[in-house]
């Protein structure tokens, strides 16, 4: 399990680079990490690896969102030729990272099961919002894009909150 977590974290930059593109073609499938043979690790080490992997992916999602908001500081749907491909790329990469975060195996301990459910639900809502934003950009639907833009901060905050479970 530790090896799979480490492999996923090491491959994340490649995953992020491979997801999406400059055009508005359908997003490419996110690459999957290949599991390495497991190495023995004690319970605390497993827990630490789990939390580290989650934190790294959350930090990458946050950094992408912060950059997106710097590049597009208001909810205006721009007619600039670079706007739609840039937004689609942000969304595609964010969906890949959120999917990788969702796929991190949860340690088999009772205190994790409840937290994993709220994390999954929060990520599912965030991914659904991102996908709605992509549809809005592809179809040039200004109203739907603005709804996506307006909901982005709250959706990400909910994801972050779900990962700050006090049971951990």
Q: Each residue of 99-113: pLDDT tens digit?
A: 998 888 777 666 665
Residue 100's Cβ-count burial label (10 Å; 0-12, 13-18, 19+) is buried
Q: Which of 27, 24, 26 is nearest to 15 (CA)?
A: 27
Q: Measured over all CA atoms, what is the biggest interatomic distance in the chain, rounded to whole angstroms?
A: 55
- Confidence at residue 11, expressed as pLDDT on a 0 to 100 scale: 43
Q: Which residue has the higher pLDDT, 81 or 49?
A: 81
Express as a percent the part of the chain with pLDDT over 90. 48
Task: Compute the distance between CA of residue 140 and CA of residue 118 in angstroms, rounded to an integer.
Answer: 33
Q: What is the mean pLDDT of residues 1-27?
A: 48
Confidence label for 15 from pLDDT (cuts 50, 70 and 90): very low
Residue 35: count other Cβ atoms within 10 Å of its Cβ: 13
Q: What is the pTM of this model?
A: 0.74
Q: What is the mean pLDDT of residues 133-138?
A: 96
SS3 47: helix
- Confidence at residue 90, expressed as pLDDT on a 0 to 100 scale: 96
Name 119's Cβ contacts closer than 8 Å, sequence gap at least 6.
Answer: 102, 159, 162, 163, 165
């Amino acid at each position: 399990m530790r090896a799979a977590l480490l492999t996923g974290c090491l491959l994340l930059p490649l995953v992020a680079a491979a997801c999406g593109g400059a055009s508005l073609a359908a997003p490419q499938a996110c690459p999957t990490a290949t599991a390495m043979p497991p190495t023995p690790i004690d319970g605390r080490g497993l827990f630490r690896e789990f939390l580290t992997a989650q934190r790294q992916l959350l930090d990458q999602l946050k950094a992408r969102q912060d950059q997106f908001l710097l590049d597009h500081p208001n909810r205006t749907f721009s007619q600039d030729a670079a706007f739609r491909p840039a937004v689609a790329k942000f969304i595609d990469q964010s969906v890949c990272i959120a999917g990788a975060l969702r796929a991190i195996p949860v340690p088999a301990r009772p205190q994790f099961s409840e937290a994993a459910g709220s994390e999954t639900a929060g990520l599912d809502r965030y991914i659904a919002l991102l996908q709605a934003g992509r549809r809005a950009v592809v179809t040039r639907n200004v109203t739907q894009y603005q709804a996506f833009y307006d909901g982005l901060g709250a959706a990400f905050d909910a994801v972050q909150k779900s990962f700050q479970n006090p049971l951990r």
